[in-house]
Copies of this chain bind each other. A is one copy, B any other.
Amino acid sequence: MQGVSVMGRGVLWLMGIAFLVLGAAGLGGSGSLAQEPLRKKALEVLVPLRSEEPPPPGSTLGQRVALGRMLFFEPRASVDGTVSCSRCHLPQLYGTDGLARSIGVMGRTNPRNAPTVLNAFLQFSQHWRGDRESVEDQAAKALVGPPSFGNSSQEAAMARLKAIPEYRELFGKAFPHDKDPVSPKNWASAIGAFERTLVVPSRLDSWLLGDDRALEERERRGLERFLVTGCADCHGGIGLGGSMYEKFGIHMDYWKATGSKELDRGRADVTGDPQDLYVFKVPSLRNVAMTPPYFHDGSVFELKEAIRVMGITQLGQEIPQEAIEELFQFLCSLTGPLPQGFSEAPVLPAGGFRP
């Protein structure tokens, strides 16, 4: 706007208003009215995600988020000092590690693929089998998961954090009414508070909220497919998934479609209910193009192949190549920008790891 006179600015402002009015009236080839039926159909099953203002830095919640961000990147809470949350949820790989199955302390392999931490809090439960209630529950239990942080007890991890004076102070500020603030509960609460700031809306959300130009035509065609093919029946809601369980392999055993080498009984091993055999949480599709490999065992590397597998196993159909291409384009529009508090690592208090 440099060099634009006051009068000029007024004219630009009026032009902006005119543009909005014309847009709302649906004039032009891709105007609002032309896209409105698709939007209406989409809003029957999808919910737009809005970015949120971070809590004020001075507030208790702000201090909790800041502490949680540090703890997220803190390897010294693990039994061998090599695992932080960010070890398997790397910013550079969109909150995943790119591995079929994550590797934690002592080189131990996790039983399942690490999903992205971005938007993870939107899901109705955590982990592929839903055996973690919330991001807080996940963070607390990871401390003692043998292939994650590997501690013999949550308290053992807290003892190492307590030995770092800055953490005693930061926990105290974030949990001011707590007599012993460096606790597993507060570890979970702080990391949860941070993860709940990892809200990543995408162009789909702008479009759902009325911005006709947010999606290209081929992406809108993909969305149409997504709705009519039946994908959205499970991958619906605000997360495009993450709100129900489903058997992986309704129409064909999943391992026949994916080439999986090991059998995973899914939720049946959690609930003991034979009905839950091969049942997993339907994953959120947000940022899916950035987070291969796919499925609970990371058995499929290409998103288009994952779409094909879904068609065979869940819908009982070979999705035509053209439709796969369009669905792929739509799924790519679900990628949003990394939150800065996630891509930028905070500086941690200095102090070597003492086993």
Contact = CB atoms under 8 A, between A and B. Distances in A.
A59 interface: no
A90 interface: yes
Contact of A350 (B106, B289, B340, B344): B289
Interface string A285-325: 00001111100001001000000000000000000000000
Interface stretch (A23-31, A74-82, A131-139, A245-253): A74-82
A283 interface: no
Choose among A81, A98, A340 the residue with the greatest number of B CB atoms under 10 Å from its CB.
A98
Contact of A73 (B82, B92, B106, B350): B92
Contacts of A76: 98
A100 to B, nearest CB: 7
B344 A291 contact: no
Given A338-B347, A344-B343, A98 B75 contact: yes
Contacts of A19: none
A238 to B, nearest CB: 23
A11 interface: no
Contact of A301 (B93, B290, B340, B354): B354
A115 B165 CA distance: 24
Contact of A351 (B81, B301, B347): B301
Given A80-B103, A107-B107, A291 B350 contact: yes
Contacts of A353: 97-100, 293
Contacts of A92: 70, 73-74, 345-348
A262 to B, nearest CB: 15
Interface in A256-308: 289-293, 298, 301
Contacts of A346: 92
Contacts of A343: 344-345, 347
A347 B94 CA distance: 7
A97 B87 CA distance: 12
A91 interface: yes
Given A80-B103, A82-B103, A350 B94 contact: yes
Given A345-B343, A354-B301, A97 B75 contact: yes
A344 B347 contact: no
Nearest to A86: B92
B94 A82 contact: no
Nearest to A69: B92
Nearest to A335: B350
A268 B240 CA distance: 61
B347 A345 contact: no
5 contacts: A75-B98, A90-B345, A100-B353, A292-B351, A343-B347
Given A75-B93, A92-B347, A93-B350, 11 more contacts: A75-B90, A81-B103, A91-B345, A98-B351, A100-B353, A106-B107, A107-B107, A290-B350, A293-B353, A301-B354, A344-B344
Per CB-CB distance, the 3 closest pairs between chain A and chain B, nearest first, are: A107-B107, A293-B352, A91-B345
Interface of A: 70, 73-76, 80-82, 90-94, 97-100, 103, 106-107, 289-293, 298, 301, 338, 340, 343-348, 350-354
